[in-house]
Amino acid sequence: MIKAFENLEVWFVTGAQLLYGGDAVTQVDGHSKKMVDGLNESGNLPIKVVYKGTANSSKEVVDIFSAANNDKKCVGVITWMHTFSPAKMWIHGLQILHKPLLHLHTQFNAEIPWNDIDMDFMNLNQSAHGDREFGHIVSRMRVRRKLVVGHWQEESTQKHIAVWERVCAGWADSQDMLILRFGDQMNNVAVTDGDKVAAEQVLGYHVDYCPFNEVMEYFNKIEDKDVDALVETYFKEYDHDAELEDKSSEAYRKVWNAAKAELSIRAILEAKGAKGFTTNFDDLGDADIEATGMGFDQIPGLASQRLMAEGYGFGGEGDWKTAALYRTIWVMTQGLPNGCSFLEDYTLNFNGEQSSILQSHMLEVCPLIAASKPRLELHYLGIGYRKSQTARLVFTSKEGKGVTATVVDMGNRFRLIVNDVECIKPKPLPKLPVASALWIPQPNFEIGAGCWIYAGGTHHSAFSYDLTDEYWQDFAEIAGIECLLINKDTKIDEFRKELRFNEVYYMLNKALL
């Protein structure tokens, strides 16, 4: 089991009834325990499944679901109908359930015992019957859920459950997510802003403005010895020029300042219990760094890179939605090997079938996606009101398939836009010393970029090598938000029709509420 999820549980509830007598229920219970043990022992599920018994009445369903709502370790509920479980007994429980739901359509035995099957076997093993009854009431009640169809011992079935479990962990984490905005939004930018009240209602994000001068209160409490120790960590972990270690040089002072910035931001995030943050290069506090030698001499890019690697969400220029989404990706991908990052569409490369988009940012790209050991470098940054040299990690991303996602506020709903991408090897950037990725949006540049723009997607996104469309479909289903997928099967005319149909659906839905 993944250590990151060791304090989480998914509850397993089996549906049955007392029509067939107590002996039948005892057999159902025994089968259910074996199934749960088998799922946990498979090695394919990142979160432990806990069997919570067989529900045989409306009261039992309500009691189990009430307990699930109130148990902080429980991040989701799996239901399975071993026998015919009359669906009206699930109504009250489904009405109160606030945790994500997965309906597993399976059967204890894999194959029909053709030579031995009798009426007793038929009465006991009625998942084909019971799961349809349960599925009807869930659909009639418009309860959002994931449906997994397949035998519980099959790896493919277990992997679908595993995807949902990871999404449940990310969803649970987002329900008390505090994002601190250090400084305000970049002036006049629309796509990275949005309705923060609606975001808290729908997605769980709480966003607080935090003036950068408040960060300075923590900055002033950081001890030099702790800064010195962090600088030594930089030199051990990253390739760098020897001159950076000359303590009498201006270069060393710049690296030292970057380390103090990192310690300051980490301190305020920990003090406030925040899971993510944003920065803005137009607001770095009032301290006069040139006159006093105290304060942030430039936007804290190195700090943002390293804090992302630790799991803090980050968004540039006040982009709180991408900061929150990155945090969710980081949670969902714990224990997976390839990494994730905040990224920005930087510039385009038109090259026929290899036409691509250079992904980067001024400084803030997470080293978890680096193809090789990042290099600590010092370069001039001429943006914002403090123009100076500053430290950053420079690298290029791994090659391979990935998926990038963004959430936009459409006024009457949140829209999740997801694009599969192919990261390819870039050419050297000798005069652009930043961390970067180069990718071809799927199914190709024209359709991928075009659909993203038609959908109103941001120039920022949260990227992962390890996630797939399935994760984002599950996330959108749990959140109850619109989800648009752009992948190898996307056709631009059909995508535009989907946008129009969705607009009608959400307008009607709003009118009916």
Boundary-marking domain end, from 144, 174, 204? 174
3-state secondary structure 219-243: HCCCCHHHHHHHHHHHHHHCECCHH
Least confident of 185-194, 201-210, 483-492: 185-194
- Residues 91 and 128 both lie in one domain: yes
Boundary-marking domain end, from 122, 146, 174? 174
pLDDT tens sequence across 63-84: 999 999 999 999 999 999 988 7
pLDDT above 70: residue 297: yes
Tell me, what's the pLDDT at 420? 98
pLDDT tens sequence across 148-192: 999 999 999 999 999 999 999 999 999 999 999 998 877 778 888
Tell me, what's the pLDDT at 291? 52
Tell me, what's the pLDDT at 30? 94
Give the mean pLDDT of 276-301. Answer: 74
Tell me, what's the pLDDT at 23? 78
- Residues 152 and 183 both lie in one domain: no
Query: Phi first, then psi: what are they for 403, rounded to 5°?
Result: -140, 140
Instruction: Domain of residue 149: give its range.
Output: 3-174
- Residue 361 is classified by DSSP as -
Closest CA relative to residue 361, chosen from 301, 313, 309, 414: 301
- Residues 166 and 196 both lie in one domain: no
Boundary-marking domain end, from 157, 174, 191? 174
Measure the N-to-C terminal CA separation of the chain; round to a whole number of Å.
42
| Average pLDDT, rounded, for the chain | 93
Tell me, what's the pLDDT at 280? 85
Question: What's the chain's length in residues?
Answer: 513
pLDDT tens sequence across 31-40: 999 999 999 9
Give the mean pLDDT of 359-387. Answer: 89
Tell me, what's the pLDDT at 149? 98
Question: How far is residue 182 CA from its own chain's centroid?
Answer: 22
Give the mean pLDDT of 498-512. Answer: 89
Give the mean pLDDT of 313-321. Answer: 95
- CATH number of the domain at 137, please: 3.40.50.10940
- Residues 245 and 139 both lie in one domain: no
SS3 assignment, position 437 = strand
10 vs 116, which has greater pLDDT?
10
Name the percent of the chain lying above pLDDT 70: 96
Tell me, what's the pLDDT at 513? 61
* Rounded Cα distance, 24 and 125, in Å: 10
Tell me, what's the pLDDT at 1? 43
- Residues 63 and 202 both lie in one domain: no
Give the mean pLDDT of 90-111. Answer: 96
Q: Which residues pair with 239 in a beta bridge?
A: 375
Encoded amino acid at 395, one letter: F
Helix axes 492-512, 445-454, angle to 10 degrees: 20
Tell me, what's the pLDDT at 452? 98
Q: Which residues pair with 80 in a beta bridge?
A: 14
- Residues 209 and 149 both lie in one domain: no
Cβ-in-10-Å burial (0-12, 13-18, 19+) of 71 comes to middle
123 vs 8, which has greater pLDDT?
8
Reported pTM: 0.95
Task: Characterize the bridge pairing of strands 48-55 and 414-424.
Answer: unpaired
- Residues 136 and 206 both lie in one domain: no
Total domains in the chain come to 2
Tell me, what's the pLDDT at 224? 96
- Residues 320 and 351 both lie in one domain: yes
Tell me, what's the pLDDT at 246? 96
* Rounded Cα distance, 78 and 246, in Å: 59
316 vs 17, which has greater pLDDT?
316
Residues annotated within the binding site for Mn(2+) are 317, 344, 361, 460
Residues annotated within the binding site are 317, 344, 361, 460
Query: What are the tokens at 114?
Result: 């053709």
Query: What are the tokens at 291?
Result: 């006159």
pLDDT tens sequence across 219-267: 999 999 999 999 999 999 999 999 999 999 999 999 999 999 999 999 9
* Rounded Cα distance, 327 and 341, in Å: 9
Give the mean pLDDT of 93-117. Answer: 95
Bond into 443 cis (ω within 30): yes
pLDDT above 60: residue 369: yes
pLDDT above 80: residue 18: no
- Residues 155 and 201 both lie in one domain: no
Tell me, what's the pLDDT at 185? 79
496 vs 25, which has greater pLDDT?
496
Tell me, what's the pLDDT at 85? 81
- Residues 184 and 162 both lie in one domain: no
- Residues 320 and 441 both lie in one domain: yes
- Residues 407 and 418 both lie in one domain: yes
Per-residue buried b or exposed e for 117-131, using 16+ beta carbons within 10 Å of the residue's own CB: eeeeeeebbbbeebb
Task: Considering only the C-alpha atoms of the chain, give the largest distance between any 2 of them, rounded to a whole number of Å.
Answer: 90
